[in-house]
Structure 1
């Protein structure tokens, strides 16, 4: 059952699902709208969809998010709590691209804004505690930073020693992302922080992290990769090894997407046929390959690539999860944009349309 110690806003109208964004053992996250406001996007974390044996714990996590969002109501760049019922919590949608898709190389302005946002969180007495995941950092269309997924957040009434330690870890994880995309912009103080983990962090990595991985990945079959890590690490590696040795394929990308109505993650293959290879025949062969095999296969005339020839998996991931409207903002290159839009026109995953119907 949901946490009832805090007053929760009530929904004024029923929620209508448009697209499932994620599923794992702790429930389902979907995007949709309220029946009386179809033009406004809302996200729902449906805890009632959690596995029965972890549902109480899932509500505990939801309670943490509810309390954090209530405290963060005045802070821009964080979701707003719209309602809570016996099944789920509902949040405002933040238009933005996840950090690992946006890849803001050299964008120091983004990381300045991300640091400002993190300080606002900490001034409100909240530590996020899950900022190592790039999925939790968004880049909005105007280049600003936003934060989502507060289910591990902690609300502190006072700035205790534990608060300071956790706030430091929040900042250190942000700096790790900055190092990945703007290494040259790190200040000497930031470099020192990255080089020196706190004592609790060192204890966690040496003692508790292996147990955490065993429980979450072995027992819950869940990982920090938004529900995608396990299958990409197992089935994905076997599939990609087979594809790399296939002479009928000159290039490919294998990306995850959420199943429409059942628990789990699907694998979407974009394959570039070799000259003289029939695309339709290639699709049929790959769909009928021995397991493990991709769930969806699309032969494409040309994969989107950057100037160095690297396949733009970030753009193909948007196609796979039906976030086609974000492609122009992420592409930053006319050739890659044109190639991706051609692929999107013939995409195989229409989860959003089936759910709307």
Structure 2
């Protein structure tokens, strides 16, 4: 079976070691990247397709792109992900691993809507998510990162899906560690239910929410402080603390300063998670004929006395609502590098999708950290 027929059949049985005989029909075709979804110290994650199967979306995680100092950890995480994806092979709702190579891995794109956008209100999705956790548990897998709603999907048929297995663990023994991790996975699923459908919580689930495992309590009291110091200080991660009022306080002066440039016709602001605590300000400067970013930064430096935009991106045109105001929902997702959510948001509007894609292609933030206080919005 060739690459094209294998991909289109969507069978989770693709060889994990590619055959690269020059001139052979089995030679791996070229991967075409269409979007960079994420870039951090552990890998680059691209969405694209193989040139002989352009209708099949593929995710490419490039671990070799990690800087030298983080490569050992990056490859450890990649090997964990590969082992976990092999273990969940065939479980509905889990990603399909296609292959690995010297640079990383390929898997099929998981088509679905992130949980915090879909916000299911009926019991079916949560029941199916529990079914999915049970199936993973039977395979000896704990996910360990499903506290993030963006790692849960509502699939097109309404069932549950889960992605991002970098922190997943394949347990050879079903001992105490396995039981604790499985319990925490279950507990985090119930927390998602509490966030998006609290009316569905059962008395038993409320009791589980009130009862953390002992390692979890110890982690909160000790390990999380060290984790935050490392991830926010060294890796420039943030868990997305509150947005504060930077747009209200600094926005007017930033907009006025950037509009001083004759090429700038409008300015829109968005927030994104900033390294360590707090949020950054992201300015989109509309300049149909183009403008130099250094000139905009100089204007801001001269006319904004306190604060200022942390990132300034010139764009040919801003996405707009029918009344002409900038689409803050689209710009916010671009600023926070939420490309999956962006695709969902503009899927039914080809013209808006084209504008969003043009801006996203030049975006300046490639981390995938979220601002949790914004998830409850409309």
TM range (shorter): 0.7 to 0.9
Gap change, CA 1:152 and 1:300, over 3 Å in 2: closer
> Superposed, which structure 2 residues align to 1:223-302 within 5 Å?
223=238, 229=240, 238-239=246-247, 241-243=249-251, 254=270, 289-290=300-301, 291-296=308-313, 299=318, 301-302=320-321
Q: Give 1:58 shift.
A: 0.3
**Correspondent of 1:34 among 45, 50, 53:** 50
Q: Give 1:109 shift.
A: 2.0
Deviations 1:58-112 (A, max 9, x none): 0000000000000111111111111111111111111112222x24152332222
Counterpart CA distance in 1 for 2:171 and 2:85 is 13
Task: Find the counterpart in structure 2 of residue 317 from structure 1.
Answer: 333
CA radius of gyration, larger in: 2
TM value normalised by structure 1: 0.73
**Correspondent of 2:69 among 26, 46, 53:** 53
Gap change, CA 1:270 and 1:292, over 3 Å in 2: closer
Gap change, CA 1:219 and 1:178, over 3 Å in 2: same
Counterpart CA distance in 1 for 2:115 and 2:334 is 13
Counterpart CA distance in 1 for 2:126 and 2:181 is 20
Task: Find the counterpart in structure 2 of residue 10 from structure 1.
Answer: 18
> Superposed, which structure 2 residues align to 1:42-191 within 5 Å?
42-100=58-116, 102-191=117-206
Deviations 1:221-272 (A, max 9, x none): 2345xxxx59x97xx96456422788989x9662659xxxxxxxx976579x
Find the residue that maps to 2:197 and give its secondary structure.
Answer: helix
Gap change, CA 1:105 and 1:39, over 3 Å in 2: closer
Counterpart CA distance in 2 for 1:315 and 1:105 is 24
Deviations 1:196-229 (A, max 9, x none): 11111000100111001111111222345xxxx5
When structure 1 is superposed on structure 2, of 286-295 and 85-94 the one drifting more is 286-295
Higher normalized contact order (CA 8 Å, seq sep 6+, divided by chain length) = 1
Counterpart CA distance in 2 for 1:202 and 1:194 is 13
Gap change, CA 1:209 and 1:199, over 3 Å in 2: same
Q: Is the 8 A contact 1:286 1:293 kept in 2?
A: no
Q: Is the 8 A contact 1:255 1:317 kept in 2?
A: no
**Correspondent of 1:218 among 233, 239, 256:** 233
Gap change, CA 1:147 and 1:244, over 3 Å in 2: farther
Counterpart CA distance in 2 for 1:103 and 1:315 is 19
For structure 2, the residue ranges without an aligned partner over 5 or more in a row are 1-14, 20-27, 260-266, 274-279, 302-307, 363-378
For structure 1, the residue ranges without an aligned partner over 5 or more in a row are 1-6, 258-265, 272-278, 305-310, 330-336, 353-357
Counterpart CA distance in 2 for 1:17 and 1:28 is 11
Aligned length: 307
Gap change, CA 1:318 and 1:138, over 3 Å in 2: farther
Q: Give 1:160 shift.
A: 1.0
